[in-house]
């Protein structure tokens, strides 16, 4: 293999080669290059699924050729998508799980665009009916929201009103969110599972704050819950937390099937509380099997295999299976967080008790930074990102671990051992200080 002419020089980089090569050669050339990516299982930065059962692999490879949008041609695939929509609507306590509307998407970002657009359309219709201007919509969110919401406001021409992180909190304060609302507010975004720390926002308190606002001012402000991760975690691990359609003010919820929905990247979900919460102008009608199928999406073509794999997970695991998997992740997260806190230099900023995700910061300045630790952890393949908190708290650098299905207690203990080894190395390198001063380790 490795004496073949195509492997004796560099891989084609900037132009399609004039002649092809045998499939096995092309396979090895690409496969070998990708070894440099490292193992996705050691990627503690990603929220996305990195392990699925062999049966799911089989189903997915049997359906790689199907396009989700071809609902006429693949009516059973469309049927499985709708079953997932109904199951999630039921999981999130919609008053009408079988009658409400929702869709699969390519991920939470697309789902958030659709959720935000529905808020904008709903608000615009209300304003038009009242004979008021519709040119200055605004959306309320915490600075800790994921980048998709900052994209939403820019792409769809909506004013962003951000609640900054104050005091020791790492999530949006409900009272301060309500205080930013006015008659041009299309909605408030609440995040179930902050991307920064894994903490839930208090959706029930936000809903109550907006109730009080309505009593005082008459403003009726809807909530969209970004449950990218928590939408698949809270129903199983925190069933008594009221964050979903049990709160009438929550009009739509998105989640990533490819995060704690346990599917490989490429599937998200958006569900409305009731069909009437989605403006009909946003729905396109596709005929199939003699009926009419309402669809809405930004993308047109999209892989069907991820949606099929989602249905597989839902029926294969059942609620008890999801609960068991997420509980196992949470046990590892809480255990690992405690171990890391006990090492000495670190202070936890979250504990893994909401999402199985936690983060820490340095208790005091050291002659090394969390960026240095992240760099050194790569020596055995661990990918544990360090980053700054958002606006107002940017001076705080944190490091975060996302515990996912397949990250065992044993692997967690090995991570702690490696962190301890690097702490010893830092301790033996007082000269690092001088390098730091000279800016050599500037981040
Ligand atoms: C809270 C939150 N919302 C939205 C997203 C975007 O999700 P996706 O990657 O599925 O587009 C993420 C991704 O990390 C997230 O954490």
Is residue 304 located within the same domain as residue 352?
no
Q: Using the mean position of ligand 1's atoms as its centre, give its distance from the Cα of residue 282 in Å.
A: 22
* DSSP 8-state class, residue 292: E
CB count in 10 Å sphere of residue 119: 27
The per-residue pLDDT for 291 is 58
Q: Is residue 406 part of a domain?
A: yes
Is residue 159 located within the same domain as residue 231?
yes
Is residue 92 located within the same domain as residue 228?
yes
Q: Is residue 443 part of a domain?
A: no
Task: Quote the CA–CA distance of 366 and 161 in Å, as a whole number.
Answer: 36
Residue closest to 195 by CA, chosen among 398, 374, 443 = 398
Q: Using the mean position of ligand 1's atoms as its centre, give its distance from the Cα of residue 102 in Å.
A: 18
Task: Quote the CA–CA distance of 106 and 303 in Å, as a whole number.
Answer: 8
Q: Is residue 153 part of a domain?
A: yes
Count of domains for the chain: 3
Ligand 1 pocket, 196 CB below 6 A? no
The per-residue pLDDT for 247 is 98
Handedness of CA 398, 404, 406, 408 (dihedral sign): positive
Q: Is residue 337 part of a domain?
A: yes
* DSSP 8-state class, residue 165: P
CB count in 10 Å sphere of residue 407: 23
Ligand 1 pocket, mutate which of 44, 104, 146, 297 (most atoms under 8 A from CB): 146
Ligand 1 pocket, 197 CB below 6 A? no
The number of angstroms, rounded, from the C-alpha of 386 to the middle of its chain's C-alpha atoms is 18
Residue closest to 208 by CA, chosen among 195, 223, 189 = 223
Residue 121 three-state SS: helix
Q: Is the separation of the CB atoms in 250 and 244 below 8 Å?
A: yes
Is residue 337 located within the same domain as residue 305?
no
Is residue 77 located within the same domain as residue 197?
yes
* DSSP 8-state class, residue 399: E
The per-residue pLDDT for 179 is 98
Task: Quote the CA–CA distance of 412 and 287 in Å, as a whole number.
Answer: 50
Q: Is residue 434 part of a domain?
A: no
Q: Is the separation of the CB atoms in 228 and 193 below 8 Å?
A: yes
Is residue 186 located within the same domain as residue 305?
yes
No. of helices (H) and no. of strands (E), the chain: 12, 13
17, burial (CB in 10 Å: exposed 0-12, middle 13-18, buried 19+): exposed
Is residue 352 located within the same domain as residue 390?
yes
Q: Is residue 437 part of a domain?
A: no
Is residue 333 located within the same domain as residue 399?
yes
Ligand 1 pocket, 108 CB below 6 A? yes
Is residue 259 located within the same domain as residue 302?
yes
* Secondary structure (DSSP) of 324-365: HHHHHHHHHHHHHHHHHHTTSSEEES--SSSSSEEEEEESS-
Helical pair 305-341 and 75-91, crossing angle rounded to 10 deg: 40
93, burial (CB in 10 Å: exposed 0-12, middle 13-18, buried 19+): middle
Ligand 1 pocket, 229 CB below 6 A? yes
Q: Is residue 149 part of a domain?
A: yes
Domain, as residue range, for 71? 60-314
CATH number of the domain residue 309 falls in: 3.40.640.10
Q: Is residue 343 part of a domain?
A: yes
User: How many Cα atoms sit within 13 Å of 353 on the Cβ side?
Assistant: 6
Q: pLDDT digit string (tens) for 72-100?
A: 889 899 999 999 999 999 999 999 999 99
Is residue 162 located within the same domain as residue 291?
yes
Decide which of 295, 314, 333 is a domain's last residue. Answer: 314
CB count in 10 Å sphere of residue 365: 8
- Residues in the chain predicted with pLDDT less than 70, given as ranges, are 288-294, 432-443
Is residue 252 located within the same domain as residue 339?
no
Is residue 278 located within the same domain as residue 366?
no
CATH number of the domain residue 377 falls in: 3.90.1150.160
Q: Using the mean position of ligand 1's atoms as its centre, give its distance from the Cα of residue 4 in Å.
A: 43
Task: Quote the CA–CA distance of 114 and 296 in Å, as a whole number.
Answer: 8
Ligand 1 pocket, 47 CB below 6 A? yes
């Amino acid at each position: 293999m490795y004496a073949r002419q195509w492997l004796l020089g560099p891989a084609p980089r900037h132009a399609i080669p004039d002649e092809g090569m045998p499939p096995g050669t092309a396979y090895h050339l690409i496969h070998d290059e990708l070894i440099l990516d490292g193992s996705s299982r050691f990627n503690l930065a990603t929220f996305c699924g990195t392990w699925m059962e062999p049966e799911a692999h089989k189903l997915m490879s049997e359906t790689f050729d199907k396009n989700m949008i071809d609902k006429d041609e693949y009516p059973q695939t469309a049927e499985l998508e709708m079953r997932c929509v109904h199951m999630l609507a039921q999981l999130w306590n919609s008053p009408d799980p079988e009658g409400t509307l929702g869709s699969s998407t390519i991920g939470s970002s697309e789902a958030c665009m659709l959720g935000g657009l529905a808020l904008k359309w709903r608000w615009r219709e209300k304003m038009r009916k009242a004979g008021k201007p519709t040119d200055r919509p605004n959306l309320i969110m915490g600075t800790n929201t994921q980048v998709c919401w900052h994209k939403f406001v820019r792409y769809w021409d909506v004013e962003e009103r951000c609640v900054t992180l104050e005091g020791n909190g790492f999530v949006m304060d409900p009272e301060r969110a309500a205080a930013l609302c006015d008659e041009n507010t299309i909605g408030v975004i609440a995040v179930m599972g902050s991307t920064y720390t894994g903490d839930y926002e208090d959706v029930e308190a936000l809903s109550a704050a907006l109730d009080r606002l309505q009593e005082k001012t008459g403003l009726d402000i809807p909530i969209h819950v970004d449950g990218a991760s928590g939408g698949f975690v809270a129903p199983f691990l925190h069933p008594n937390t009221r964050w979903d359609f049990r709160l009438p003010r929550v009009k739509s919820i998105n989640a990533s099937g490819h995060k704690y929905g346990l599917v490989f990247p490429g599937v998200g979900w958006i569900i409305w509380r009731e069909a009437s919460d989605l403006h009909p102008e946003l729905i396109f009608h596709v005929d199939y099997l003699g009926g009419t199928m309402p669809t809405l999406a930004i993308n047109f073509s999209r892989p069907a295999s991820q949606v099929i794999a989602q249905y597989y997970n839902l029926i294969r695991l059942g609620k008890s299976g999801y609960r068991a998997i997420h509980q196992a992740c949470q046990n590892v997260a809480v255990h690992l967080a405690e171990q890391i806190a006990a090492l000495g230099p670190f202070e936890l900023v979250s504990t893994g008790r909401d999402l199985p995700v936690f983060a820490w910061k340095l208790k005091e300045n050291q002659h090394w930074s969390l960026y240095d630790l992240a760099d050194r952890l790569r020596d055995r393949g661990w990918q544990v990102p360090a980053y700054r908190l958002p606006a107002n708290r940017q001076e705080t650098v944190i490091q975060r671990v996302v515990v996912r299905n397949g990250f065992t207690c044993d692997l967690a203990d090995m991570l702690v051992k490696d962190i301890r080894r690097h702490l010893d190395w830092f301790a033996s390198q007082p000269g690092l200080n001088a390098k730091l001063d000279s800016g050599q380790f500037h981040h």
